Amino acid sequence: MTTATSSTPVHPSIQPLGHQLAASPSIDAALRAIVDEVRAKSVQITDARPANPGLKESYEGLMARAAAVRGRPLLYPYIGSGLGNGALVELADGSVKWDLISGIGVNFFGHSDPDLMHAALRASLADTVKQGNLQANFEPHAFSETLLAEAAKGSKLKHAYLTTSGVMANENALKVCMQKHHPASRVLAFRDCFMGRSLMMASIGDSHEGRVGLPIVADVDYMPFYDEAAAARTSPAAVTAAAVSRLEEYIHRYPGQHACFIFELTQGEGGFNVGRRDFFRALMEVCKAHKIAVWDDEIQTFGRLPRMFAYEYYGVGDLVDVFCIGKMTQVCATLYTEEYNPKPGLLSGTFLGEAVSFEVGRRVIERLRDGDYYDRVDDKGNVVQPGRIARHHAAFVAQVKALAARHPEWFPAVPEIPDIVGGVGGMMRFTPFGGRKDKIQAACKAIFEAGVVLFYCGHGPYHLRVLPPLGVMNEQDWPRVFACIEQGLAKVPN
């Protein structure tokens, strides 16, 4: 549990009983004993391994029960045992796999992390499971303080409202933008964007599969994202100029009607597409000139790029008005500048989340802040020393290139992309089999059987998507991971 602190010391004898409990040496010793017991089992997991044949029948029973309550089978036959060791996770059939998708980005520090487990156990002593918007202990405020302290280093973001899911963080961001610019109600967004699965966010997201049978409840004007292949054929400046021209066309067609432009600075579901500083700044400056809110959605990107925030990496933090975060942080949040601080009553809800989520999320941010994950840069933004995330990306690229050299038949050229490997930092993707959807989906399942959990992204071409737990992976793990990937790709039918 987080104990509220101030500049005025409080004598232990008058501390609230809850704060005395949190400071108890007996409690701390008990928590450490639990963590040590888990760690003693966790360290026995050292490599991928196949399922235990003796658990086949019981595992199939679990899978059938899961399918029955869901109304459809699981995408992968994945039911965890509750234990892992860093990037390795044990399933209930006794198999062990490399977890290179991290719960679609949630578990940056992998499985059974001792530090995060200790934070979670301590937070579980709180008097309620859920903490609310109207009734909360100090944990959510401590999380917000830690997050805002980092966010403010490269932006004007000043306030945070917490929530329990990324889609609700986005819903709150949209409300903030629309209230500020009422009666403007149109939205600008990039093609292939993904915003979540509420009715409003499914309407904004550029994916037909995510809104089959649903009414469209948002007026959205879609912008081209930065096109690396087109920039290679012409120039980055030409691609940027074309995008600015399209934005100005929309603004001229609907004068004063756009409340916001949603920026995924690196697209997630859309294909791990990477932009450029000049491209984003040019579009954002047009928005500023026309009083259109700049909304930065970093729910999937936060923490994974060579800088903690994508707006830092692209050098656009000074232009961001509203910001969303989630996944890796365990808690989802909408941040905004003082100018966009909404009127009372706009943002509310029963739940903010659990003390466990707040405390684990706070530790995640602290470890990112204090670790060697991010590039060291000079005053002009030039990289002085690559961080761990950049080094991992280089190791990943090297493994893909080596795999393609051994099996060129798996990697035909794809005209829509400049290279078979891409992404940035811990958002990694590669494109075998020409990016065909059926082949990519088959590859995901074959690689899963071979011992690696990953997923796909994109809308044609499709890519194999990797969101590895770089908080715990070693660069030396990549050859072992790719041995499994190569084994799986070899089983994909021609």
Average pLDDT over residues 53-69: 97
Long-range contacts of 440-444 (CB under 8 A, 24+ apart): 440/464, 442/492, 442/493, 443/488, 443/489, 443/492, 444/76
**More confident of the two residues 6 and 358:** 358
CA 386 – CA 299 distance, rounded (Å): 24
What is the set of domains in the chain, with CATH numbers? Answer: 12-122 (no CATH), 129-370 (3.40.640.10), 389-489 (3.90.1150.10)
- Using CA atoms, how far residue 385 sits from 25, 307, 376, 405, in Å, is 41, 12, 5, 29
pLDDT in tens, 342-399: 999 999 989 899 999 999 999 999 999 999 999 998 887 788 899 999 999 999 999 9
- Of all residues in the chain, the percent with pLDDT exceeding 90 is 89
CA 159 – CA 144 distance, rounded (Å): 8
Assess whether pLDDT exceeds 80 at residue 9: no
Assess whether pLDDT exceeds 70 at residue 6: no
Give the pair of three-digit tokens for residue 286.
Answer: 């047009």
CB neighbours of 269 closer than 8 A, spacing ≥ 6?
A: 192, 194, 207, 300, 457
Average pLDDT over residues 177-185: 98
CA 139 – CA 143 distance, rounded (Å): 6
What is the model's pLDDT at position 286? 98
- Of all residues in the chain, the percent with pLDDT exceeding 70 is 98
CA 324 – CA 358 distance, rounded (Å): 16
Assess whether pLDDT exceeds 80 at residue 8: no
Give the chain's radius of gyration (CA, Å).
23
Phi-psi region of 111 (alpha: psi -120 to 50; beta: other; left: phi over 0): beta
User: pLDDT band for position 144 (50/70/90)?
Assistant: very high
C-beta separation of 426 from 305 below 8 A:
yes
What is the model's pLDDT at position 228? 92
- φ and ψ of 196, to 5 deg: 125, -175
What is the model's pLDDT at position 370? 97
Q: Helices 478-489 and 388-406, interaxial angle, to 10°? A: 40
What is the model's pLDDT at position 7? 57
Q: Work out the burial of residue 8: count CB atoms within 10 Å of its CB; fewer than 13 is exposed, 13-18 middle, 19 or more buried.
A: exposed
User: pLDDT band for position 494 (50/70/90)?
Assistant: confident
pLDDT in tens, 323-334: 999 999 999 999
What is the model's pLDDT at position 380? 78
Average pLDDT over residues 58-70: 97
Assess whether pLDDT exceeds 60 at residue 189: yes
Pairing of strands 376-377, 383-385: antiparallel
CA 108 – CA 181 distance, rounded (Å): 36
User: pLDDT band for position 22 (50/70/90)?
Assistant: confident
CA 432 – CA 421 distance, rounded (Å): 9
CA 99 – CA 62 distance, rounded (Å): 20
What is the model's pLDDT at position 3? 54
